[in-house]
C-alpha cells in the first residue's frame, strides 16, 4: 500500500537509489569494512539531499549478492529518512546473474515501483571486486530485453581493487564510460559518496540516462581530481587511450545542481 506521505501535497516524485553490492569471499576484510563505513556516511548525506530537493524524494534499495542474491530492503524501497544501514558481511561466490535476476524481478510497478505519485528513473550503483561465477550473460540479455525501468536507469559501476572484470561491468552498465576503478580503500568511501549524491541530484531533473551518466561522471572527475595521480581510474575510452586517471581529494565538495523545470519522463505507466 502506498505510503501516506505520497498523498500529501505538493507531492514529489520518488527517486530510487539502488545499491547492488558484491559480498563475495574476496570482499572479506578491509573491502567490505570500507563499503560499510562509506554507506553509513553516505546515507546521512542523502537524507539532507532528499530534504533539500523540491522535485524528488529519495528512496533506498539495497541488493547484496554472493552465492545468490538477497534484497536487504526486501519489503520494497525505503524512504531515506527511514533507512538505517546495517553492516554487511562477506563470503561465498560472485553471482552477478542472480543479482540481475533479482533486479529484473523487482523493477516493476507490481513490485517495488508501486506508487501513487510516480517514480523517476532509478539510479543503480554496482560495486564489485571480482569475476562473475554464474551465467550473467543470459541475465543481462533478459533484463535489457524485458525491463524498461532497467533500460532507462542511470547505471554506474564501481570496480574495487585490481581484479574486477571491467568488461563485464561495462556490459552491465551498458556504457563503457560508466565504470570507475578505485584501488585505494580510503578513496572508495569518498567515491561512493560523490557518485551517490551526484546521481541523486542530477537524476532528479529530467534527462536521458546517457545525459545523467555523463554529468555524474563529470562531477566525479571534478570532485576527485587533484594532482593527476592515478590512484583512482575513471574508464573513459577515446581514440587515444582506454582510461583517464584521477586522484581523490580529501575535501571534495557537493556541487549543487539546478532545476530545469522540464517535466519528468521516468514515471509513466510501465509494468
Q: Taking the domains of the chain in order of start, what are their residue ranges? A: 19-246
Q: What is the pLDDT of residue 208?
A: 86
Q: 13-22, 96-105, 254-263: which range is least confident on average?
A: 254-263
Q: DSSP assignment of 49-73, as one string?
A: HHHH-SSEEEEEEEEEEESEEEESS
The Cβ-side half-sphere exposure at 90, using a 13 Å CA radius, reads 20
Mean pLDDT of 75-90: 97
Residues 122, 18 contacting (CB under 8 angstroms) = yes
More confident call, 229 vs 249: 229
pLDDT in tens, 28-41: 999 999 999 999 99
Q: How deeply is 43 buried, as exposed, middle or buried, from its count of CB atoms within 10 A (0-12, 13-18, 19+)?
A: buried
CA-CA distance, 61 to 77, in Å (whole number)? Answer: 5
CA-CA distance, 200 to 12, in Å (whole number)? Answer: 14
Residues 86, 53 contacting (CB under 8 angstroms) = no
Mean pLDDT of 238-263: 31
Residues 38, 189 contacting (CB under 8 angstroms) = yes
> Residue 252: pLDDT band by 50, 70, 90 thresholds?
very low
16 has pLDDT over 90: yes
Q: 10-14, 62-66, 211-215: which range is least confident on average?
A: 10-14
Residues 212, 229 contacting (CB under 8 angstroms) = no
> Residue 4: pLDDT band by 50, 70, 90 thresholds?
low
5 has pLDDT over 80: no
CATH topology of domain 19-246: Rossmann fold (3.40.50)
Kindly state the DSSP code that residue 177 receives in the 8-state scheme.
Answer: G
Look up residue 267 and give its three cell numbers.
514515471
205 has pLDDT over 70: yes
Q: Enter the pTM of the model.
A: 0.84
Mean pLDDT of 141-157: 97
Please give the mean pLDDT across all residues of the chain. 84
pLDDT in tens, 176-198: 889 999 988 888 999 999 999 99
Amino acid at each position: 500500500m502506498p505510503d501516506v506521505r505520497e498523498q500529501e501535497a505538493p507531492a514529489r516524485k520518488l527517486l530510487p537509489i539502488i545499491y547492488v553490492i558484491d559480498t563475495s569471499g574476496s570482499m572479506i576484510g578491509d573491502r567490505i569494512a570500507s563499503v560499510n563505513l562509506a554507506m553509513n556516511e553516505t546515507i546521512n548525506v542523502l537524507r539532507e539531499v532528499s530534504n533539500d530537493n523540491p522535485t524528488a524524494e529519495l528512496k533506498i534499495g539495497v541488493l547484496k549478492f554472493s552465492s545468490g542474491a538477497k534484497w536487504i530492503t526486501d519489503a520494497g524501497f525505503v524512504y531515506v529518512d527511514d533507512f538505517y544501514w546495517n553492516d554487511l558481511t562477506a563470503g561465498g561466490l560472485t553471482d552477478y546473474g542472480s543479482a540481475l535476476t533479482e533486479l529484473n524481478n523487482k523493477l516493476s510497478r507490481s513490485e517495488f515501483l508501486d506508487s501513487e505519485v510516480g517514480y523517476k528513473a532509478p539510479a543503480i550503483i554496482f560495486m564489485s571486486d571480482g569475476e562473475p561465477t554464474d551465467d550473467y550473460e543470459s541475465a543481462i540479455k533478459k533484463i535489457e530485453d524485458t525491463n524498461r525501468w532497467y533500460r532507462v536507469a542511470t547505471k554506474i559501476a564501481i570496480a574495487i581493487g585490481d581484479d574486477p572484470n571491467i568488461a563485464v561491468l561495462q556490459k552491465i552498465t551498458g556504457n563503457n564510460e560508466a565504470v570507475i576503478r578505485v584501488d585505494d580503500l580510503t578513496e572508495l568511501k569518498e567515491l561512493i559518496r560523490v557518485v551517490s549524491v551526484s546521481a541523486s541530484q542530477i537524476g532528479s531533473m529530467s534527462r536521458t540516462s546517457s545525459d545523467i551518466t555523463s554529468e555524474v561522471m563529470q562531477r566525479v572527475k571534478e570532485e576527485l581530481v587533484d594532482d593527476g595521480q592515478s590512484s583512482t581510474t575513471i574508464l573513459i575510452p577515446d581514440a587515444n587511450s582506454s582510461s583517464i586517471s584521477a586522484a581523490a581529494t580529501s575535501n571534495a565538495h557537493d556541487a549543487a545542481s539546478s532545476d530545469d523545470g522540464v517535466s519528468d519522463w521516468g514515471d509513466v505507466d510501465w509494468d
